[in-house]
């Protein structure tokens, strides 16, 4: 049965690596349209890119729109940003906007639209629904729903964040400590998420991503040490390392939210619902893992400490690979 468990862990590791490899395409595109004068709009279009490769996406405006000047294109590192002005006879209210090529990808596009009165509306365009009709009077519910879904998607597609939470679940042995640890992680990353998204604190993404991978290696090592009977402070108080590393992970969440963009009028609401989405996705993951572990205990005859150690080595190996590759990319 040990061989079966090992093969399962290897398959799980390969799945994680494959998901991580495709994570760059999962970064959402961003379209901002601001009405600067009657029937005249300033447009910023950001398409995810890696090196010279970019997603083949384009903005499709109504036929009543005509460019009012040349387009400027710049390389923003992880995206190609195009800006231009357009005039639309009769305005955009009541007219559809679309992202061409989105249906052939696995990514989303976030739309921000602001009229001359400062009223702003947001929408998430997906491969299944790449169109949005501009409404005359958007509600706060529109922004809340958009950012909540973005938060859920971000945590569920953030393999490194989920692997860190999984490592914490394997390290913890009782329910009370589990609640304390998850709460500490939540509080910590909520603090730095808000600080990074609002521009109050800043950390360069490449070192942050490398440090996040290293944090998973550290927790995986603690799982192995705990299996050997060690009782260091990090093992006796896992909430402490969850809080400290949670601050680091929050910079990752905040950087992603800053890349997506926050609406000018509903910043607190967007920030709150994005964080709420992250927590909902995290809770869903924790419940799923605990259910799987409960089933595994009933079906697998391999001693639990041995299976936990094997899982720790698998997690540590994957995370060490991420750490080296991310440092190498500097």
What pLDDT is attached to residue 179? 85
Residues 87 and 189 in one domain: no
Residues 166 and 269 in one domain: yes
**Is 7 a member of any domain?**
no
Structure token digits, residue 178: 């589990």
Residues 185 and 50 in one domain: no
Residues 115 and 166 in one domain: no
Residues 124 and 72 in one domain: yes
Of 138, 162, 189, the last residue of a domain is: 138
Asked if 130 contacts 98 with a C-beta cutoff of 8 angstroms, the reply is yes
**Is 194 a member of any domain?**
yes
What pLDDT is attached to residue 16? 47
What pLDDT is attached to residue 64? 92
Q: In the chain, how many H helices and how many E strands?
A: 9, 11
pLDDT in tens, 89-128: 989 988 999 999 888 877 888 888 888 876 667 788 888 8
Residues 71 and 203 in one domain: no
Asked if 255 contacts 158 with a C-beta cutoff of 8 angstroms, the reply is no
**Is 144 a member of any domain?**
no
Residues 188 and 93 in one domain: no
Looking at the structure of the chain, the number of domains it has is 2
pLDDT in tens, 7-58: 444 444 444 444 444 433 446 788 999 999 989 999 999 988 776 677 788 9
Residues sharing a CB contact under 8 Å with residue 170, sequence separation 6 or more, in sequence order: 223, 308, 311, 312, 315
Residues 256 and 214 in one domain: yes
**Is 247 a member of any domain?**
yes
**Is 129 a member of any domain?**
yes
Residues 179 and 311 in one domain: yes
What pLDDT is attached to residue 299? 75
**Is 219 a member of any domain?**
yes
Neighbours of 104 (CB within 10 A): 10
Which residue is listed with tokens 């501009």? 134
**How many angstroms separate the CA atoms of 186 and 193, rounded?**
10
What pLDDT is attached to residue 77? 73
Residues 122 and 177 in one domain: no
Residues 111 and 223 in one domain: no
What pLDDT is attached to residue 27? 66
Which residue is listed with tokens 């940003």? 81
**Is 3 a member of any domain?**
no
Q: Domain range spanning residue 96?
A: 30-138
Of 138, 162, 181, the last residue of a domain is: 138
- The partner residues of 83 in beta bridges, in order of sequence, read 44, 72
pLDDT beneath 70, residues of the chain: 1-27, 51-52, 118-120, 137-139, 231-235, 259-266, 300-304, 330
Structure token digits, residue 195: 């600080």
Helices of type H across 131-171: 140-157, 159-171
What are phi and psi for residue 91, nearest 5 degrees? 80, 180
Residues 120 and 202 in one domain: no
Structure token digits, residue 16: 């994680």
For residues 221, 225, 227 and 233, what is the CA-based torsion angle, rounded to 10 degrees?
-110
From the number of C-beta atoms within 10 Å of its C-beta (0-12, 13-18, 19+), residue 30 rates as: buried
Q: Model-level pTM?
A: 0.66
Please name which of 190, 32, 234, 3 lies closest in space to residue 113, comparing C-alpha atoms. Answer: 32
**Is 225 a member of any domain?**
yes
């Amino acid at each position: 049965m040990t061989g079966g468990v090992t093969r399962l862990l290897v398959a799980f590791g390969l799945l994680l690596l494959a998901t991580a490899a495709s994570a760059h395409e999962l970064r959402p595109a961003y379209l901002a349209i601001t009405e600067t004068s009657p029937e005249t709009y300033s447009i910023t279009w950001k398409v995810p890119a890696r090196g010279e490769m970019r997603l083949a996406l384009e903005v499709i405006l109504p036929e009543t729109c005509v460019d009012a000047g040349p387009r400027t294109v710049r390389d923003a590192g992880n995206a190609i940003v195009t800006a231009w002005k357009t005039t639309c006879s009769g305005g955009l209210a009541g007219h559809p906007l679309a992202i061409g090529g989105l249906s052939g990808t696995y990514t989303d596009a976030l739309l921000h639209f602001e009229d001359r009165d400062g009223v702003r509306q947001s929408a998430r365009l997906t491969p299944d629904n790449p169109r949005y009709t501009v409404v005359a009077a958007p509600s706060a519910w529109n922004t809340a729903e958009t950012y909540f879904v973005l938060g859920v998607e971000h945590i569920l597609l953030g393999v490194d964040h989920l692997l860190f939470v999984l490592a914490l679940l394997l390290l913890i042995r009782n329910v009370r400590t589990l609640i304390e640890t998850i709460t500490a992680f939540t509080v910590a990353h909520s603090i730095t998420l808000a600080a990074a998204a609002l521009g109050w604190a800043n950390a360069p993404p490449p070192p942050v991503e490398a440090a996040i991978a290293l944090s998973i290696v550290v927790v995986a090592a603690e799982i192995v040490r705990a299996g050997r009977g060690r009782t260091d402070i990090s093992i006796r108080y896992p909430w402490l390392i969850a809080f400290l590393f949670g601050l680091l992970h929050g910079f990752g969440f905040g950087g992603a939210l800053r890349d997506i963009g926050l609406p000018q009028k509903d910043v607190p609401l967007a920030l709150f619902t994005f964080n709420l989405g992250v927590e909902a996705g995290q809770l869903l993951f924790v419940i799923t893992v605990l259910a799987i572990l409960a089933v595994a205990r009933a079906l697998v005859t391999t001693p639990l400490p041995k299976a936990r150690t094997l899982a720790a080595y698998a997690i540590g190996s994957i995370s060490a690979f991420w750490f080296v590759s991310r440092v190498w990319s500097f």
